[in-house]
């Protein structure tokens, strides 16, 4: 079984899947491996998979998005490893949940940055919000990806294996220059204490601690800063097509969700109670 997963990993690497996607697929399959007590996947049928996912939904209470990822992992594994497709329609989520992403207000973002005293941490959170980056994209940035002449940030091979440019804030650039003088990163823009890329888990902890100091109890993650970037641009009159390019969305429908969050003309409507 271990060899099967290693072979699957190599196939995904050759097909240039991102590290994050590969780790997600392997994690899903390793959990299933434990459930089936190391039984070879080739001998597991559709009914077995139905029982497995049913167990996760009714015992572990997994979210619909997680269920969708698990089914996707199973489908891809059987396609690449055995050249066959399973009939998993019964365990696939029939409809996507129409949930609006959480967003911080401009004042809340300002409070978070104000309560981030460590210069490296402030630079990381400022760039994440100021350029609308995914955390995986930010941690892959090299020094050469920051262009202070054109005031852009170059994202290499972001989600969907696409390169793109996004904006660089003048205020963020000031923070980055101070950070560079003090920390002197050599390769990656943000590096760990022992070199190499700064970790996503450390980044999450940075936000958590800053929110705690700022006394913000709203549920938020690093990705919330990206959602907030897009929403605030929309509220400031930036066109949805421009926001789509900055975020690197393949489909405009993905970007249109921010029109349901922004405090635009909808919020000027008075309640009949008033």
Mind telling me the catalytic residues? 134, 159, 223, 226, 249, 258
CA-nearest of 158, 164, 161 to 134 is: 158
């Amino acid at each position: 079984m271990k060899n099967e997963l290693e072979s699957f990993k190599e196939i995904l690497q050759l097909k240039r899947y991102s590290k994050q996607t590969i780790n997600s697929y392997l994690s899903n399959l390793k959990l299933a491996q434990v459930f089936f007590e190391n039984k070879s996947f080739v001998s597991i049928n559709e009914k077995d998979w139905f029982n497995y996912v049913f167990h996760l939904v009714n015992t572990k209470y997994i979210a619909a998005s997680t269920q969708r990822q698990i089914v996707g992992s199973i489908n891809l594994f059987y396609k690449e490893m055995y050249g066959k497709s399973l009939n998993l329609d019964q365990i696939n989520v029939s409809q996507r949940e129409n949930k609006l992403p959480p967003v911080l207000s401009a004042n809340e973002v300002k409070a978070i940055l104000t309560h981030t005293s460590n210069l490296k941490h402030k630079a990381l959170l400022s760039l994440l919000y100021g350029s609308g980056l995914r955390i995986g994209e930010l941690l892959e940035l090299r020094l050469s990806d920051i262009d202070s002449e054109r005031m852009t940030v170059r994202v290499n091979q972001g989600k969907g294996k696409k390169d793109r440019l996004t904006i660089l804030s003048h205020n963020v650039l000031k923070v980055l220059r101070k950070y560079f003088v003090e920390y002197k990163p050599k390769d990656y823009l943000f590096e760990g204490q022992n070199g190499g890329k700064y970790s996503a888990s450390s980044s999450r902890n940075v936000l958590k601690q800053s929110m705690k100091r700022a006394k913000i109890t709203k549920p938020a993650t690093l990705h919330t800063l990206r959602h907030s970037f897009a929403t605030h641009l929309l509220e400031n009159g930036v066109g949805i097509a421009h926001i789509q390019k900055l975020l690197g969305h393949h489909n405009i429908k993905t970007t249109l969700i921010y029109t349901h969050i922004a405090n635009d003309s909808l919020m000027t409507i008075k309640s009949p109670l008033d």
